[in-house]
Amino acid sequence: MRPLSFSLAACGALLAGCAATGGGAGPSAVKPEQLSGALNRVSWGVNLGTYQQAEKVGYDAWLEQQLHPGAARLPAAAQAQIDVMTITRKPLPQLNQDLDQQRKDADKIADDDQKKAAQQAYQQELNRIAKEAATRSLLRDLYSPNQLQEQMTWFWMNHFNVHQGKSNLRVLVGDYEDNAVRAHALGKFRDLLSTTLRHPAMIRYLDNEQNAAGHINENYARELMELHTLGVDGGYSQRDVQELARILTGVGVNMGTNTPGVKKELQAQYVRQGLFEFNPNRHDYGNKEFLGQTVKGRGLAEVDEALDRLCRHPATAHFISRKLALYFVADEAPPALVERMAATFQSTDGDIAAVLRTMFTSAEFAQSLGRKFKDPVHYVVSAVRLAYDDKVVLNTGPMLYWLNRMAEPLYGRQTPDGYQLTQSGWASPGQMTTRFEIAKAIGSGNAGLFKTDGPQAQERAAFPQLANALYYQSLQKTNSPATRQVLDQATSPQEWNTFLLSSPELMHR
């Protein structure tokens, strides 16, 4: 067998073509021969199991199941990994309390060396909790039958971005993803916006716990309009930012067990739900002028009124629709499609599944299949899904490492704008070289996905099955002559796998 390193020259054409996309017009609806391409776009990456299921029930029926999914049943081996996680076994308030007590205990230690060791242990525990959340997310992406729900969870986590490195957000991100975002990923946008607003991860990340009457902090108010709803060109003014910040005064968190002393006349206004707190002592009860209308000062109800106004604004319908089309269809979102999606958004009061249906059944969507460049998360998850189908990995560590290498770690975007959704952010020569190395690791069966960490490490034999029925029935037909030529040069199954996983066709969805 020829060493894989000698095959880099043979892969030159593949790497050079990975950032290129094809042209030509397509049909107005997904044709049978486009099934694998459509599944590749709607799911986290087509694999044999998904293809066979969609082929059996028909693409339209499969799509409806994805838009309105039932409870997700993961394979037992994947669910077992999730069931033993601390984030599964402990409710967020208890988890936060336990970690906070660990931090306080460490700070009380008098001996400097012992204090430093205890503080490091606390930080390591925060890292472990965050890694659990990322592992759970990847296991769901890989194996959940509700593929669209999981992909939309990533989309909204990116849209309502928080960075795990701030404060104690490593404790919070798992609950934020599961309960604030995932639970509403295909529901009404208004519900999704409200749950993110009330989650301590968002409140803490964008500093709204520091926002109080007489001490206004505009961070969250600004991003709520610029990034979450109206968009930077949504027609709001700096005065609207200031007024929304006033509306949001008192919206904060309570990480402890004590209730603040609220003025007697305001006690009925106090709200505590989990770690979320509305403290009326900190709220500005004056009237506000927001988006051209008066909001009467009356406490937390002002926030709901502001959210209603933001969600029903035409700019929000357009901004969200455009971003969805950017993510699912093309880097230059088709204007006519965006307008139809925005009309659906408004007519259904922000029904996310209805907006997605308008997009997925459009001519523009069918015409775009195979041309959207995969960001790192899509590349890594789709490659593992294709290589191993429903064979459950024992260790997501290599996948997390690859995402770090390619600068798209889960919960790792520091700025609130989220990761870039277009090809220009991910198609650099360095990125493509890293992708070839990942393809080589997966294709050779030496990626470490089936070997657990720790002193009692377990390992399960697993070799990727890429030359399967899915490939010969569907994927092979989409390969360019250049890709076929390179695949024909492979001298071993490992080499063939590597060439396929690093081909231009596998870089696109």
| pLDDT of the residue at 12 | 53
| Residue 24 predicted with pLDDT over 60 | no
Query: Is 315 contained in some domain?
Result: no
Strands 251-253 and 288-290: unpaired
d(C-alpha 266, C-alpha 263), whole Å: 5
Question: What range defines the domain where residue 140 resides?
Answer: 74-147+158-181
Read off the pLDDT of each residue in 454-459 and give the average, rounded to a whole number: 84
464 within a domain of the structure (yes/no): yes
What's the confidence (pLDDT) of residue 18? 54
Residues 13 and 98 in one domain: no
Q: What tokens does 268 get?
A: 């009925």
pLDDT 10s digits, 159-194: 999 999 999 999 999 999 999 999 999 999 999 999
Name the CA radius of gyration of the chain, rounded. Answer: 24
| Residue 16, pLDDT score | 53
* 111 within a domain of the structure (yes/no): yes
- Residue 404 confidence (pLDDT) above 80: yes
Q: Which two tokens stand for residue 24?
A: 């030509």
Mean pLDDT across the chain? 94
Strand, helix or coil for residue 118:
helix
448 falls within a domain: yes
What would the mean pLDDT of 290-295 be, rounded to a whole number? 98
Find the mean pLDDT for residues 132-137. 98
Residue 491 lies in a domain: yes
Residue 398, domain member (yes or no): yes
CA-closest candidate to residue 92, choices 198, 209, 244: 198
The runs of H, that is alpha helices, within 144-231 are: 147-159, 169-175, 189-197, 200-205, 219-223
Average pLDDT over residues 23-29: 40
Q: Work out the pLDDT band at 457, boundaries 50, 70, 90.
A: confident
Tell me: do 11 and 118 sit in the same domain.
no
Burial of 43 (0-12, 13-18, 19+ CB in 10 A): buried
Count of CA atoms in the C-beta half-sphere (13 A) of 267: 7
Question: 23: Cβ–Cβ under 8 A, 6 or more apart, which residues?
Answer: none
Contacts of 20 (CB under 8 A, 6+ apart): 504
User: Are the C-beta atoms of residues 187 and 231 closer than 8 Å to each other?
Assistant: no
Q: What is the pLDDT of residues 87-107, one digit of tens each?
A: 999 999 999 999 999 999 999
pLDDT for res 454? 80
Residue 7 has pLDDT above 70, yes or no: no
- Contacting residues for 454 by C-beta, under 8 A, at least 6 apart: none
Confidence band, pLDDT 50/70/90 cuts, at residue 48: very high
385/459 same-domain check: yes
386 with 499, same domain: the answer is yes
The SS3 assignment for 382 reads helix
Burial of 500 (0-12, 13-18, 19+ CB in 10 A): buried
- 317, 280, 281, 319: which is closest to 302 by C-alpha? 280
Domain shared by 496 and 378, yes or no: yes
Q: What is the pLDDT of residues 328-356, one digit of tens each?
A: 999 999 999 999 999 999 999 999 999 99
Identify whether 230 is part of a domain: no
> Confidence band (pLDDT; 50, 70, 90) for 14?
low
d(C-alpha 460, C-alpha 395), whole Å: 11
User: Do 493 and 424 fall into the same domain?
Assistant: yes
Query: For residue 461, is pLDDT > 70?
Result: yes
Domains in the chain, number: 2
Name the 3-class secondary structure at 278: strand
Instruction: Evaluate if residue 256 carries a pLDDT over 60.
Output: yes
For residues 13 and 123, membership in a common domain is answered with: no
Q: Are residues 406 and 489 in the same domain?
A: yes
